[in-house]
Amino acid sequence: MATPLWELVNICKAFPGVRANDGISIRLNAGEIHALLGENGCGKSTLIKILSGVHSPDTGEIRLNGRPITLGSPIDARSKGVATVFQEFSLAPTLTVAENIFLGRYPRRGPLVDWAKMRSEAARVLTSLEIAIDPARLVGSLSVAEQQLVEIAKAISVDATLLILDEPTTALGEHEIAVLHRLLRRMKNRGVAVLYISHRLDEVVELVDTATILKEGRVASTADATRLDIPSIVTAMIGASVEEHYPKVRNATDEVLIAVSNLRSARGARGASFSVRKGEVFGLGGVIGSGRTEIARALFGADPASGDIRIEGRPVRIRNPRDAIAAGLALVPENRKFDGLFFNFHGGPNITSAALGAIRRLFLLDKRGERRITSDFIQDLEISPAAAHKCVNLLSGGNQQKIVIARWLFAGSRVLILDEPTQGIDIGAKIAVYRLVNELTARGCAVILISSDHSELIAMSDRIGIVRNGAVVETLPASQVTHAHLVQASASADGAATAA
Ligand SMILES: Nc1ncnc2c1ncn2[C@@H]1O[C@H](COP(=O)(O)OP(=O)(O)OP(=O)(O)O)[C@@H](O)[C@H]1O
Ligand SMILES: [Mg+2]
């Protein structure tokens, strides 16, 4: 076998109580896109942090062109040709897009920073990614999707022989993903080795040349043995085949639970009208920037909004999230890492926080009540039992998502708005979330589902409203909606944030 460009040999890395990487060997060839796959917590990010100089391995070797090499720090790794897009964003919000892209290596002219060159170089990198963002904008003012694109721009602006992307597409829509794929193919043709992590398997099989699947810190299936189709990958990942990717149960009734008309907010809801029935999943489809999240926030009172909202025919006034919760609404936000969970607490307080009144005894929290409620939810929603005592940041993404949903059920919510509920979680956890959606609709809840994963949106919704410019422009039974339809209907949006 020819010597690979980069090679990991027998890498081990333990954290207290867990062998995150337990003897992993991978060969990364020039001009090849290599997927690194596996369930939440199987050790993918740990491995790429070792390759990026963030962690040093306990044992094992990294080789470049067959020779052992040490990567002492992220800067050292970068200078040796490794560029990484980390799963957690690493941008500085108070700096501009251009400054972030060139952080730590500002172009100079003599002793001075060459600002003009920095701006023009940044503009060039952004253009190659078909990103319409002004390099002079502050990163803190960008949307999550735009920040993700800037992260990618930052990584590809370095001359790298190894480009690593750890879930670069969780916040991106289909259009941005297609642009990224084109770019990665160009890098590959230039002889770069690309290591790619994603939980969106349809995207992976379309893009990559080869794959390594990890399970509990070890290689479960090697590149050569992995057939690049979704069923084989899933079998290697979870050790069992999956009968049904989308276990949709239809529970929709004819009774309207919530009717929204002419919902408007300064932030981007522009006259949205729709209604959702008891037991129904109403999908909101549209490109990034079409206004789906803004509609959700306006409905939940998270942004000041106007419009007519009726629950079971009765008008309700929602001025803030407290009003929304009292009216039976819940919002599971797009990025649970930013505003969904209290990461340093275990599952209990996370579940009961939205309705503390229910477990308050006189002025004290009823700890025993909290424990009982937590264990009931753990059972009902099939949450990992560890949630009762482990901090949520140590739980898998799927379990975190279930805890957020459990919280709202506990608060008595009947209308649940789920904004990208399966973003970044593994296939097993996704199916668990789908089952949970079935459970919600079986209880008569109305679910408003926002998802950029078109297959998921079509499969799990009963009806889909197509969103353009902050309004629902068309509503169809999900069975009549196709991928092409979703792309076309919303891509004609003049308000799309990243139109090329
Ligand atoms: N800094 C750390 N300290 C302690 N434990 C850690 C640390 N980083 C990771 N772990 C643990 O190591 C294991 C592997 O985590 P890792 O982040 O590599 O998983 P992953 O495959 O990237 O998961 P995901 O798909 O959810 O991103 C997990 O059990 C995690 O809790
Ligand atoms: Mg990870």
| C-alpha dist (Å) from residue 500 to 42, 154, 272, 488 | 36, 19, 26, 15
Is the pLDDT at 387 greater than 50? The verdict is yes
Q: Which atom of ligand 1 is nearest to the CA of 46?
A: 18
Q: What is the pLDDT of residues 432-484, one digit of tens each?
A: 889 889 988 999 999 999 998 889 999 999 999 999 999 999 999 999 998 88
Q: How far is the CA of 31 from the centre of ligand 2 (A)?
A: 24
Ligand 1 lined by 423 (C-beta under 6 Å):
no
Q: How far is the CA of 166 from the centre of ligand 2 (A)?
A: 7
Ligand 1 lined by 40 (C-beta under 6 Å):
yes
Ligand 1 lined by 293 (C-beta under 6 Å):
no
Q: Atom 9 in ligand 1: which residue has the minimum CA distance?
A: 46
446, β-bridge pairs: 415
DSSP letter string, 43-76: SHHHHHHHHTTSS--SEEEEEETTEEE---SHHH
Ligand 1 lined by 69 (C-beta under 6 Å):
no
Domains (range + CATH), the chain: 6-238 (3.40.50.300), 256-491 (3.40.50.300)
- Cα-Cα-Cα-Cα dihedral sign, residues 276, 281, 285, 290: positive
Q: How far is the CA of 356 from the centre of ligand 2 (A)?
A: 32
Instruction: Find the mean pLDDT for residues 229-238.
Output: 86
pTM of the predicted model, to two decimals? 0.80
Ligand 1 lined by 44 (C-beta under 6 Å):
yes
For 396, residues 6+ apart whose C-beta sits below 8 A from its C-beta are 39, 40, 41, 384, 425, 426, 429
DSSP letter string, 135-187: TTSBGGGS-HHHHHHHHHHHHHTS--SEEEEESTTTT--HHHHHHHHHHHHHH
Q: Which atom of ligand 1 is nearest to the CA of 426?
A: 25
Ligand 1 lined by 20 (C-beta under 6 Å):
yes
How far is 115 from 18, CA to CA, in rounded Å?
46
Mutate to test the pocket of ligand 1, among 22, 42, 49, 430 (most ligand atoms within 8 A of CB): 42
Ligand 1 lined by 87 (C-beta under 6 Å):
yes
CB 272 within 8 A of CB 467: yes
Q: How far is the CA of 43 from the centre of ligand 1 (A)?
A: 6
What are the b/e assignments for 311-340, b being 16+ CB within 10 Å? beeeebebeebeebbebbbbbbbbbbbeeb
For 57, residues 6+ apart whose C-beta sits below 8 A from its C-beta are 11, 12, 13, 21, 50
Chain mean pLDDT for the chain = 86
CB 94 within 8 A of CB 118: no
Residue with tokens 């979703």: 486
Q: What is the pLDDT of residues 238-271, one digit of tens each?
A: 877 777 889 999 999 999 999 999 999 999 999 9
Q: How far is the CA of 319 from the centre of ligand 1 (A)?
A: 40
Q: Identify the weakest region by mean pLDDT among 70-74, 149-153, 186-190, 353-357.
A: 353-357
Instruction: Find the mean pLDDT for residues 397-403.
Output: 74
CB 5 within 8 A of CB 28: yes
How far is 398 from 381, CA to CA, in rounded Å?
11
Q: Identify the weakest region by mean pLDDT among 226-235, 299-308, 452-461.
A: 226-235
Is the pLDDT at 339 greater than 70? The verdict is no
Ligand 1 lined by 50 (C-beta under 6 Å):
no
